[in-house]
Structure 1
Amino acid sequence: MKSQMYQKIESSTCHVASRKMVSNFAMKAENHLNEMIQLAFDIKHELHVKAFWSLDLVCEKKLKQFVPFIEGFCEILPKIKDDSALRPATKIAYFLTKSNHRKNGISLTQEQEHNLIEALIDRLIQDEKVASKVYAMKALFILGKKYDWVHEELKTIISQDYSNHSAAYQAATRNLLKKLNK
């Protein structure tokens, strides 16, 4: 018998209203959230993409609920292959780094930061969709405030890759290069 959470994820779509409904349901009970995360992190499961679609909304609203799962997230991020799961996963990485940088935010360990840096740089180098790359760039920019070498690496990668991408990617890259060159 399938749980309510499983059924909600299974019947969800990529539409915002559907994803919000699933994320709100997950945030109401710890066991629902645990099940959603378990499905998202099981990259061989057919529903892992749909689970990630709603998980990024959970992290956007209530990132602190995700804290017990950060270690598992850092392990799974480099293994995600599906573009539809990669976008929300890199967005979650961005939320984590953004919060880690704030005074009262969550705290990532140095090892978690390094794991995220490595995974996000790999995403920039690989042939990924623009949205995933932009979230990776934003997260790396924040991490580079603590680790200087990240900014240098980021400049090199996005400068070399600039002409191979769409106008949207180029715009995001120009904005980031301005910040990096200040």
Structure 2
Amino acid sequence: MLTELEIKLLESDAHRTSRISACNYAIRKEKIEELTQIAFNLYHQSHVMAFWTLEFVCEKKLKSFVPFINSFCEVLPTLKNDSAIRPATKICFFLAKSNHRKNGISLTHDQEHNLIETLIDRLIQDEKVAAKVYCMKALFVFGKKYDWINNELKEILVQDFPNHSAAYKSASRNLLKKLNK
């Protein structure tokens, strides 16, 4: 028997309005825990759709995601589906930005370490451009706290620059300008 949230996810599609509708439903009905369980279960039929929805939940109400950050850090390196990796790396970016702000969420040292390690791995692996761009952006934010990240990021971007698409080159060029200031 499917839950209401599972039905909502199955009825959703990749369109932004559909994902926002599923997000609003999860927030309104307080289904964030169930949503994370579905997203983090790589074998669930709605795993990808749940990640798409979770991205919007984190964009709107990141603090509601705090209880699930440890589980997120565990599942993040195991993700295989490109359609789940992109929203997961965007969630990493939201976490990095919030962690950097005064009134944002506070990640533990272990959580930061896990996210940084996975983001670097994703950046050097054969991932789609959108996921790599969010990895770059999140690492840049973490680099404001940990200097070594900026050096590593700069090295990766320069080394990989000639081997990628125009979209990757554009994003890395913009980030390299910021890193070289």
TM-score computed with the length of structure 2 as normaliser: 0.98
Gaps of 5+ in 2: none
Partner of 1:62, secondary structure, is helix
Residue type of the partner of 2:91?
I
Residue-by-residue CA offset, 1:131-178 (whole Å, 9 max, x unaligned): 000000000001011111111111111111111111111011011001
**Structure 2: distance between partners of 1:164 and 1:148:** 26
**Structure 2: distance between partners of 1:44 and 1:165:** 31
Residue-by-residue CA offset, 1:55-79 (whole Å, 9 max, x unaligned): 1000001000001001111111111
Match of 1:107 in 2: 106
Match of 2:2 in 1: 2
Partner of 2:160, secondary structure, is helix
Match of 1:18 in 2: 18
**Structure 1: distance between partners of 2:106 and 2:29:** 24
**Structure 2: distance between partners of 1:126 and 1:29:** 38
Match of 1:168 in 2: 167
TM-score computed with the length of structure 1 as normaliser: 0.98
Instruction: Give, in angstroms, the shift of residue 10 of structure 1.
Output: 1.3
Gaps of 5+ in 1: none
Residue-by-residue CA offset, 1:47-103 (whole Å, 9 max, x unaligned): 110100111000001000001001111111111010000000000000000000001
| Structure 1 segment 15-94 matched on structure 2, within 5 A | 15-30=15-30, 32-94=31-93
**Aligned structure 1 segments of 4 or more residues deviating by more than 3 angstroms:** none
**Structure 2: distance between partners of 1:105 and 1:29:** 24
How high is the sequence identity, in percent, across the aligned residues?
64
**Structure 2: distance between partners of 1:8 and 1:158:** 40
Cα-Cα RMSD = 0.7
Match of 2:97 in 1: 98
Instruction: Give, in angstroms, the shift of residue 29 of structure 1.
Output: 2.5
| Structure 1 segment 116-127 matched on structure 2, within 5 A | 116-127=115-126
Residue type of the partner of 1:2?
L
